[in-house]
Amino acid sequence: MTASEVRQEIPFALPDITADDIDSVVAVLRSRWLTTGAVTRQFEAKFAEAVSAHHAIALNSCTAALHLSLEALGVRPGDSVFVPTFTFAATGEVVRYLGAIPVLVDVDPLTCNIDPVALRGAVERVVREGVSRPKAIMPVHYAGAAAEMDDVWDLAREFDLAVIEDAAHAFPSTYGKNRIGWTPEDIPSTVCFSFYATKTITTGEGGMVTTRSSEVADRIRRMSLHGLSKQAWNRYAGGTWRYDIVAPGYKYNLTDIASALGLTQLKRSREMAKRRNEIAAAYNQAFSALPGYVTPQVPVDRVHAWHLYQLRIAESFGEENRDALIEMLRIRHGIGTSVHFIPLHLHSFYRESFGYKPHDFPAALNVFEHCLSLPIYSSMSDGDVQQVIDAVTTSHITLCGAEKGKS
């Protein structure tokens, strides 16, 4: 069977779209107000309520949210921003948008979140060298499990740093008694969410940024639409045509079409989160029985959003057999998988621009070489879940047999 003949029986990810979702989008289309307007403001208000935030600003991506957060919190060219290497491209690239320096940091090998000890070492090194101003930390809540935020906040207070949380995976996650989206009073901070098609709720493409600060919220809102003193809604829905440009901004606003979908998705978010938790529990029970495999670790004091389910194969198998498992699941069983992520320091841009080498971040490198992400989405049936479990188990047995044959 060739790659072109493979039938994808269980895709890696699918959005969970209902008739209500479709009806809400159609209603906006019929209203004839399609861009940012009253529906988007309603989505912002409902989302802020859902995550206990003071302000929420809807944007067209999490990347936009990260970018505008850095800008609003005062990151300038030459500043150092501390970023885990085990993350998607957006977390690092937005730092370069502003001419700042992404200082990569290793991760905890169990949670894949930024390692507090390594983070402190990186901050102290930048302070000691005195070449760049340490300005912000960007922790990533990997897969939907919250990072060690107490350690991050303590470091931010000690060194007067801003905190921009990359929560692209983390709705609806919690850390201790707080929902991800809440921010402390004494630290300049934002939290950035993604509503991409594969996320726990979707607007197709979209994002949201939350903050406690009215000043930061106002700056982000203005910069999201060309730096205008008035939003398009105010200019065209009965307001004056006059406006002022307060700064050269961007085109990052979210439309009412997308926000309508976000509102109906938000209404079902608890139901969809419950289903993801059920799938993760079934996977954990099944795969914890496979010798050498590592299932995700969830601290007892937080709720996991389960945007991703990362399975780590036995270290004795190595990267080659991880890749073989991915191909076996795809070709023999029609199971879609992925790898999250190729660490930033392995990409040519970071190697060539900052001199990073593969073994500079051993924990991230080890996780990358042994991990794969399995399908987990709320529309999966019990039969789908069992099919994935059976396929992984069968493929594991086949690979074990192949390894014995080599020896």
Question: Could you identify the residue written with the tokens 């970071």?
Answer: 350
The C-alpha atoms of residue 321 and residue 329 are separated, in whole angstroms, by 12
Closest CA to 164 of 118, 230, 98: 98
Give 290: exposed, middle or buried? Use CB within 10 Å, 0-12, 13-18, 19+. middle
In one letter, which amino acid is 36?
A: T
The C-alpha atoms of residue 390 and residue 375 are separated, in whole angstroms, by 13
The C-alpha atoms of residue 275 and residue 271 are separated, in whole angstroms, by 6
First to last CA, the chain: 29
DSSP code of residue 359: G
Strand duo 55-59 + 207-211: pairing = antiparallel
Helices (H), 302-381: 318-333, 348-354, 362-370
Whether the upstream peptide bond of residue 172 has omega within 30° of 0, thus cis, is: yes
Q: Which residues contact 45 (CB under 8 A, 6 or more apart)?
A: 56
Whether 230 is a known active-site residue: answer no
Selecting among 46, 199, 267, 274, the annotated active-site residue is 199
SS3 244: coil
Task: With beta carbons less than 8 A apart as the criterion, state whether 312 and 293 touch.
Answer: yes
Active-site amino acid positions? 199
